[in-house]
């Protein structure tokens, strides 16, 4: 029974990670698409409504952490 609970927790966490990773991917794609559509690189700053490079970097770092956690769950 203990193994079943652990398996269920891992499955639930995997689904949470996948959901968050998809959201981050969508956000980064939207940022890139918006920057490309205006012909600018999205590093202008929050004043113009365009996310900063640091905001994108933070999202990608979070994605890296999530993927590492997902890998550890599979071990």
Nearest CA among 58, 42, 40, 59 for reference residue 50: 42
pLDDT in tens, 19-64: 999 999 998 888 777 765 454 554 555 455 566 677 888 889 999 9
Percent of the chain's residues with pLDDT above 90: 41
pLDDT of residue 70: 93
pLDDT of residue 6: 87
What domain count does the chain have? 1
d(CA 15, CA 48): 35
pLDDT of residue 35: 64
Return the beta strands (E) in 2-75 as ranges.
Answer: none
**Residue 48 is part of which domain span?**
2-74
**Is residue 69 a contact partner of residue 37, using CB atoms and an 8 Å limit?**
no
Local structure of residue 50 (DSSP, 8 states): B
Q: What is the pTM of this model?
A: 0.72
């Amino acid at each position: 029974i203990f193994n079943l609970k652990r398996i269920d927790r891992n499955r639930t966490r995997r689904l949470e990670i996948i959901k968050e990773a998809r959201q981050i991917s969508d956000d980064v794609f939207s940022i890139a698409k918006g920057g490309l559509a205006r012909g600018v690189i999205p590093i202008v700053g929050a004043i113009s409504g365009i996310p900063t490079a640091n905001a994108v970097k933070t999202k990608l770092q979070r994605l890296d952490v999530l993927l590492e956690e997902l890998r550890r769950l599979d071990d």
